[in-house]
Amino acid sequence: MHRSAPRLSRILACAAVPVMLVAAGCSSDSGGDKDASPSATASPSVSAKPTVKPAVFSKLPEPCKSIKEKTVDSLVPEAKDRSGTADKSNDVSTRGGCSWNGLDSQGVDGSQYRWLSVSFMRYDSDQSRGAGDKLAEEYYAKQVAAAKATDGAKKVADEPSAGIGDQATTVSYDLRKTDADFKYATVVTRTENVVATVIYNGAGYQGAKSPKGADLLKDAQKAAKEAVASVTAANK
């Protein structure tokens, strides 16, 4: 009887092995079914990037026709070329400009010199860079900063100008050059995705007095309004 006890223990242990294996197998299969659910095996979806809004303006006006002839005649008397001198551009749909200049002789009262220019910059919307109007805002700020930082400028003043496009800033200053005291008026304006910059300056020669800065600024604002209107007209 004493010898049979160890043998009986081994028999009971071996008999228990299949039961444990079966139990373990059932437990593993049950857990596998739960992990095989679609929500657990599906790869996470990648959300698409939001698309930028399209630019409002797709064209630019002809720069030399963006300012009315009668305005050019008024601002630049005796202009060398009333039709203007166009800036060179590799892509006239995104960049362009024009300028006029003339010396009006007033006999014994001397001469008055005037120079007027208008330039345009248009931005398309771009998925990587952003919306066209936002890119135009950045360029607008750079143009204002550049005008204020003109080398040799004195009595620099700037202020917002309402009623010209979506944004507008006027910058005025005095500048001594070619032995004359020049008055400058710059109007930088943004309408949607286009920036228009108007620069108007003048000086008196041969004893003539320099023009009044306030008058130049008023005339520059008039030209800027016409430039903005020409952008809208070009895209109808």
Task: Examine the pLDDT at 15 and tell me if it is beyond 50.
Answer: no
Give the pLDDT confidence score for residue 46 in this predicted structure: 52
118 and 12 in a common domain: no
For residue 81, the 8-state DSSP code is -
The verdict on residue 52 lying in a domain is: no
Q: What is the pTM of this model?
A: 0.79
Sorting pLDDT into bands at 50, 70 and 90, what band is 177? very high
Torsion angle (degrees, nearest 10) of CA 173, 175, 181, 183: -30
21 and 108 in a common domain: no
The verdict on residue 110 lying in a domain is: yes
What residue numbers bound the domain in which 10 lies? Answer: 4-41
212 and 148 in a common domain: yes
190 and 143 in a common domain: yes
- Cross-strand pairs, 102: 79, 114
Sorting pLDDT into bands at 50, 70 and 90, what band is 49? low
Task: Examine the pLDDT at 21 and tell me if it is beyond 90.
Answer: no
Residue 61 to residue 230: CA distance in whole angstroms = 6
Give the pLDDT confidence score for residue 48 in this predicted structure: 59
Mean of pLDDT over the chain:
86
The verdict on residue 82 lying in a domain is: yes
- In 3-state terms, what secondary structure has residue 145? helix
| Percent of the chain residues topping a pLDDT of 90 | 75
Task: Examine the pLDDT at 88 and tell me if it is beyond 80.
Answer: yes
Sorting pLDDT into bands at 50, 70 and 90, what band is 50? confident
The verdict on residue 57 lying in a domain is: no
127 and 192 in a common domain: yes
Task: Examine the pLDDT at 225 and tell me if it is beyond 60.
Answer: yes
Task: Examine the pLDDT at 229 and tell me if it is beyond 50.
Answer: yes
32 and 70 in a common domain: no
Task: Examine the pLDDT at 208 and tell me if it is beyond 80.
Answer: yes
148 and 109 in a common domain: yes
The verdict on residue 46 lying in a domain is: no
Sorting pLDDT into bands at 50, 70 and 90, what band is 204? very high
| Percent of the chain residues topping a pLDDT of 70 | 79
182 near 173, Cβ under 8 Å? Answer: no
Sorting pLDDT into bands at 50, 70 and 90, what band is 196? very high
Give the pLDDT confidence score for residue 16 in this predicted structure: 46
The verdict on residue 56 lying in a domain is: no
Number of domains in the chain: 2
150 and 181 in a common domain: yes
Q: Is the pLDDT higher at 191 or at 19?
A: 191
207 and 148 in a common domain: yes
Give the pLDDT confidence score for residue 43 in this predicted structure: 52
Residue 41 to residue 96: CA distance in whole angstroms = 57
CATH of the domain at 82: 3.40.1000
205 and 147 in a common domain: yes
The verdict on residue 113 lying in a domain is: yes
**Closest Cα to residue 170, out of 156, 159, 155?**
159
209 and 122 in a common domain: yes
The verdict on residue 75 lying in a domain is: yes
Q: Is the pLDDT higher at 49 or at 210?
A: 210
100 and 37 in a common domain: no
* Helix ranges, 116-206 (H): 132-148
Sorting pLDDT into bands at 50, 70 and 90, what band is 106? confident
